[in-house]
Amino acid sequence: MIRYIFPFLLFFLLSGCSLKKADVDFDPNFKTQQLKMFSILYKNKEGYYGLNERRIHDALIHDIESKGYQKASKEEADFYMTFLVQTKEKVQPDISFGFGVCTFSRRNFIALGTEPDLIYDETTLFINSVDSKTQKVFWSSSLVVDSLESKTPQERIEYINKVVAIMLKEFPNYLNQEKK
């Protein structure tokens, strides 16, 4: 019996650890064949890169270069890659009700109880591709990411690399366009 249950438990355990699918949007009329050189633009309020921002920056460069594009200065780039990390406080209402009827002495009681709302932070990574000539976004992707608090620095690098790879999976590949 256990040999039938164990594979199902393993499947649910492993599928719970997998990353979600990225939300990708693009302009179908934009011609990506003209793009060859890119630059990464990122500004934050502090004016400097944090460690995770640097990891995202490096993962973007690696992934876009693996698709055949060349890194260039802002002035020479055909398109810009921008990213934004946004954290919002979310409230998940807990709508489980406890209900009970009790008789005590000659009186009847009805009790109704609820649980407190669950408050958590949700972090979303946004990646946009902007045409350098028109300054219009032609491709974008977003993904809700897990908290990095309990991860070691190496685990953070690996996780961010996976997230960026998933988000850029559908980004046009320059090497495939060149063959056409």
Over residues 74-127, the pLDDT tens digits come to 999 999 999 998 888 888 776 665 555 666 666 666 655 667 777 878 889 999
pLDDT in tens, 37-66: 999 998 776 666 788 899 999 999 999 999
Dihedral, CA of residue 156, residue 19, residue 65 and residue 39, to nearest 10: -80
Dihedral, CA of residue 132, residue 134, residue 138 and residue 141, to nearest 10: 60
Alpha-carbon span 172 to 68, nearest angstrom: 10
pLDDT of the residue at 11: 57
Q: Which residue has the tokens 């209402």?
A: 93
pLDDT in tens, 10-29: 555 555 555 678 899 999 99
Q: How far is CA 61 from the centre of its chain?
A: 17
pLDDT in tens, 133-144: 999 999 999 999
Written as six digits, the tokens of 166 are: 């998933």
Query: Is 19-90+121-175 CATH 3.30.160.670?
Result: yes
pLDDT of the residue at 72: 95
pLDDT of the residue at 39: 95
3-state secondary structure 68-108: CCEECCCCCCCEEEEEEEEEEEEEECCCCEEEEEEEECCEE
pLDDT of the residue at 71: 96
Intra-chain end-to-end CA distance of the chain, in Å = 55
pLDDT of the residue at 109: 60
Q: Where are the domains of the chain?
A: 19-90+121-175
DSSP 137: E
pLDDT of the residue at 165: 95
Alpha-carbon span 155 to 160, nearest angstrom: 9
Q: Are 145 and 163 in contact (CB under 8 A)?
A: yes
pTM: 0.73
